[in-house]
Structure 1
Amino acid sequence: MTSAAKETPVPDEASDHHAVVSTFDLFSIGVGPSSSHTVGPMRAAKIFIGDLKEANMLERVASLRIDMYGSLALTGDGHGTPDAILMGVEGEAPESVETSTIKSRVQDIHTNKSLRINGTHRIHFDPEKHLIFNYFQSLPQHPNGLRFCAYDKDTNLIATNEYFSIGGGFVVNDKTQMDHGENVYYKQDFSEEASLADRQQQDIAVAALPFKNAQELLEVCRRENMTIAQVVFENELKWRSAEEIRDRLLKIWNTMDESIRNGVMASTQAYLPGKLRVKRRAPGLYNKLLKGLYGPISVKQYNDTQIAPTSNPVSDLSSHTTPHTESPLSLSVLPKRERKRFFLPALDYLSVYAIAVNEENACGGRVVTAPTNGAAGTIPSVLKYYLEFISENPERDVMEFLLTTAAIGMLFKRGASISAAEVGCQGEVGVACSMAAAGFTAVMGGSIDQVENAAEIGMEHNLGLTCDPIAGLVQVPCIERNALAAVKAIAAAQLALNGEGDHRVTLDQVIETMRQTGLDMMSKYKETSQGGLAVNVPVC
């Protein structure tokens, strides 16, 4: 072997410099019931319409044809994909659409056979003819494919594009497609204030503390004597100020907490939408928990854990300008903590909180992708449990928990997938369990090795988890699965905290195993409703 053959190739800095996507790309506020089938398609439609506007072609559009492929076609109806696409075409974004108006607006489109493109002029659009379900066809890049075609008044094709919803609300096309969907150019909608150039600049920013896998992440932590949350915080400073990081993290948590509130405070007689006629369980379960804590109650209560940014935060973020190499800002914002006593009074709380979030998601309510809508209940339930029973500094704990979980999510996104259509539910609920286990271990005072161990345990025992939703709805088995994943995350953290961080299987090994398992998994178990429970449980 020559010396040249022994040399390690230098990676291309533009495409392989880190595994980091922004925490706020991984956690984003959207609408249920699915990040890949609802949030992503709504974003894709809005992006296509935005491109037409930017090219001064919007006024020429007289009609549209929209094709859904693969999993988007097979389970799109139950996942709300058609409605999401129509809202995106009308200019709505998942973060801001008024969820209570979607049904009536979609009904109006069906009745009048027209829609307001980008919220401006009306064009002819008959969903029965122009919104096409290609059930057994897939575009080669990804199972969740969309094709948009715009026509003028003479039915001439004037614009077309294809988009792929790759999980967690991430949307890519040929221009942005990279390994494992690493480039997240289309995750967040760019508004008038956030230009296309600004978004491109964020995507090419080199992380302050780059890492490509768990091993490199741990090496960075050891070299810098930092926690995982501190490393992620330093990387986030490349994109936004410390105040904005704190405020956005608290907004994410407050939205999570609000989704729990909405779920547990719903009517005990309410049913989830769709032909399964699944009754909401969270309100009744929560009532039983309250009776256990407070005795007989006449009015249902809710323990609010919303957090407003403090006027005098942990450190003076606005005045701290010392360069990272001298004194990293994260060391003062997220100081290392003492080990906490493990306190586990009632796993019932984990279950009811997770069920509450996923019932809200199933109803098309506002939730946070964590890392996806189908897995949206696991991380919030674990964090709320910690804040209610253990936390002594909620603001700091929310920041450390979410930044730690984000790091683990980044590793799965780069090394495998967070799309059930690509790797099964192990990529959604399995990843959420791993993320939650890591976050809980971190705020309990675990070492970086224990955090990595907890994340590994959380995924190792979700390997091979299939996605086979009954009737294409994000209800059975999805809702209960989130509750069990939350309990499993706490158990994984407990095992890791009781050890010294030494373990035989590494997180990188389990991520690669998950990727290979997803490739080997039969397509009918990847969010198609063509196998498993979906075909063995009759729907009357």
Structure 2
Amino acid sequence: MEIISIFDMLKIGIGPSSSHTLGPWKAANRFIEESEGIITSIIIELYGSLSLTGIGHATDVALALGLSGEIPEEINPDRIPEILEEIKNSKTIYIGKKHHVPFSLEKNILFLKKTLPFHSNGMKFIAKINGVEVNEVFYSIGGGFVIKENEEAQNILVKSIPFPIQNGAELLNYCKEKQLAISEIVLQNELSLHSSEFIEIQLEKIWDTMAQCLFNGCMTSGVLPGGLNVKRRANDFYLSLNGPQNCKNTLEWLKKLRKTKVQFRQILKWVSCFAIGVNEVNASLGKVVTAPTNGSSGVIPAVLMYYLMIENHNAGFPEIKKFLMVAGEIGSIFKKGSTISAAMGGCQAEIGVSSAMAAAALCELLGGSPEQVLVAAEIAMEHHLGLTCDPINGLVQIPCIERNSMGAIKAITAAEIALGTDPKDTKVPLDKVIATMWQTAKDMNTKYKETSKGGLAIAVNSIDC
């Protein structure tokens, strides 16, 4: 059984895409770390969805940063242009921060528009190490997860956990047997993998990153990069809602926000403002939390802010911690039973899964039973089944940014419906909808899986934008 920590599902990284930006970045990091000897030349071949939409997703930029030894969780996004300019001017890359190697993004990163058999997001590193040519194939399988060819089959169980969970039914059985909430079961598993201090620190980092991202998204105007000239809208929403101004830092902003009076009609606009704002930051190569992916990173922060701003003004970090733990566990169940990669399953695998994660987390915080929590996740996914991934120009902008808003609204609705539902009356369990999602993914035409060869990507000419 695969062990997936909540920190695997909620990772800090750089936008715009977890599978096309963060994954290749981590693959480059790993290739450099595992290479023994001196690298004197390197070429990277991109395949499948990476080759078809990689330019729009900044795959080449991510690979260059990864080869340079930069760590996505740690880098200041403001430094990225400076690093790229140095590579361009010197025509070399400071590989692993050790020595310079001849390099240019145009000549050393090849978009081959072919597909490798194992997964749509394939990349091959071809390097001279100590005078010997070395080839390594990596796959970016969604959510920033990266594996080598044939690596998944090993599935080594590194450490035992008290509650091994493969699906929703097993999770519910543990909750019933131990009379614990889902967040409590998740915490016990995490404590077998990490110290209590580590869990607290990491969850605080994740929330701090989300909060900073919310703040930046709401406060920033202008046009998104990439050539589509998409106007940033979160700031317009924020100004129209008379959000607090002149805040010295994110903490002050959050305190003032939670004292803001919100009329019923404004709730939807606030949620949309938060979801869109986060994804505008993501589209600008900003720092976000994959939840479970970069393209869907706005859903969970928006729903969590809805809870903090609308449902419970007295809530603090204990509630945030529970929310993130439930969300992470639901995401891991989807990954085990289906996919969180749009290149494998379309946007149902990104926005659909993030909506299910947020719905489940919100439901527990609102007092839902473990059974109702899974009902909330099922409802949210059920109404995203078949959602395609068809980004215009391969950019995580249209329709991706608005879809975060829709996913957040659906999550809130799903949680409310679940709270008013007797789980005994439900006809579709979570595990059935996950299985259906996977079957739908397999049946879906390839052109609707993050290739920009179908749907809106071809119906709307980028020149018209």
Q: Deviations over 1:22-67 (max 9, x none)?
A: 1111101000000001111011001101111xx2x1x2x2211100
Which residue pairs with 2:258 in the alignment? none
Give 2:261's aligned residue: none
Supply the AA of the counterpart residue of 2:161: A
Alignment gaps of 5+ in structure 1: 1-15, 184-199, 308-342
CA–CA distance in structure 2, aligned partners of residues 93 and 41 of structure 1: 12
Deviations, residues 397-448 of structure 1 (Å, cap 9, x unaligned): 1111111111110110000000000000000000000000000000001011
Give 1:404's match in structure 2, choosing from 326, 350, 354. 326
Distance in 1 separating the partners of 2:250 and 2:81: 31
How far apart, in 1, do the equivalents of 2:268 and 2:277 lie?
14
Q: Secondary structure at the match of 2:22?
A: helix
Distance (Å, rounded) in 1 between the aligned partners of 2:57 and 2:289: 16
1:248 aligns with 2:202: yes
TM-score w.r.t. the length of structure 1 is 0.81
Task: Say whether the 8 Å CA contact 1:470–1:535 is kept in structure 2.
Answer: yes
Report the CA distance shift for 1:210/1:306 in structure 2 as closer, same or farther (over 3 A).
farther
RMSD of aligned alpha carbons: 2.0
Encode CA deviations 1:181-207: one digit per residue, 9 max, x unaligned.
xx5xxxxxxxxxxxxxxxx8xx52122
One of 336, 348, 351 as aligned partner of 2:272: 351
Task: Tell me the secondary structure at the aligned position of residue 407 of structure 2.
Answer: helix
Structure 1 match to 2:292: 371
CA distance in 2, matches of 1:371, 1:306: 26
Determine if the alignment matches structure 1 residue 465 to structure 2 residue 387: yes
Q: Distance in 2 between matches of 1:442 and 1:280?
A: 33
Verify the 8 A CA contact 2:394 2:451 in the aligned structure 1.
yes
Given that 2:291 and 2:300 are in contact with CA atoms closer than 8 Å, whether structure 1 keeps it comes out as yes
In 1, Cα distance between the equivalents of 2:148 and 2:60? 20
* Letter aligned with residue 142 of structure 2: G
Separation in structure 2 between the aligned mates of residue 302 and residue 120 of structure 1, nearest angstrom:
37
1:151 to 103, 128, 132: 128
Who wins on radius of gyration, i.e. which is larger?
1
Q: In the alignment, is the contact (CA less than 8 A) between 2:211 and 2:250 conserved in 1?
A: no
**Paired amino acid for 2:300:** I
- 1:408/1:51 CA distance change after superposition, 3 Å: same
- 1:48 equivalent in alignment to 2:31: yes
Q: 1:472 to 1:513 in 2, by over 3 A?
A: same
Counterparts of 1:221 and 1:250, CA distance in 2: 26
How far is the alpha carbon of 1:500 from its aligned partner?
A: 1.8
Q: Which amino acid aligns with 2:99?
A: H
Gaps of 5+ in 2: 255-263
- Does the aligned pair in 1 maintain the 2:161–2:193 contact within 8 Å? no
1:494 is matched with which residue: 396, 410, 416?
A: 416
Q: Give the superposition deviation at 1:251.
A: 1.5
Q: Aligned letter for 1:398? A: I
Q: Does 1:528 align with 2:465?
A: no
**Could you give the per-residue CA deviations for residues 87-136 of structure 1, whole angstroms, max 9, x where no partner exists?**
0001111101221121232233233321111112111113222210011x
Aligned pair 1:68/2:46, yes or no? yes
> Aligned to 2:387, what secondary structure does the other structure show?
coil
Counterpart mapping for 1:178-197 below 5 A: 178=153, 183=155
Q: Secondary structure at the match of 2:401?
A: helix
The equivalent residue for 1:238 is: 192
Give the corresponding residue for 1:328.
none
State whether structure 2 residue 368 is matched by structure 1 residue 446. yes
Cα gap change, 1:454 to 1:301, in 2 (>3 Å): farther
**Per-residue displacement from partner, 1:367-425 (whole Å, max 9, x unpaired)?**
00000000000001000111122233311111111111111101100000000000000
Deviation of 1:244 (Å): 1.9
Structure 1 residue identity aligned to 2:117:
P
Contact 1:265 1:300 in 2 (8 A): no
The answer (yes or no) to whether the contact 2:172–2:370 under 8 Å persists in 1 is: yes
Q: How many residue pairs get matched? A: 453
* Cα distance change of structure 1 residues 445 and 306 upon mapping to structure 2, 3 Å threshold: farther
- Asked whether the equivalents of residues 22 and 144 of structure 2 are also in contact (C-alpha less than 8 Å), the reply is yes
* Structure 1 segment 252-291 matched on structure 2, within 5 A: 252-266=206-220, 268=221, 270-290=222-242
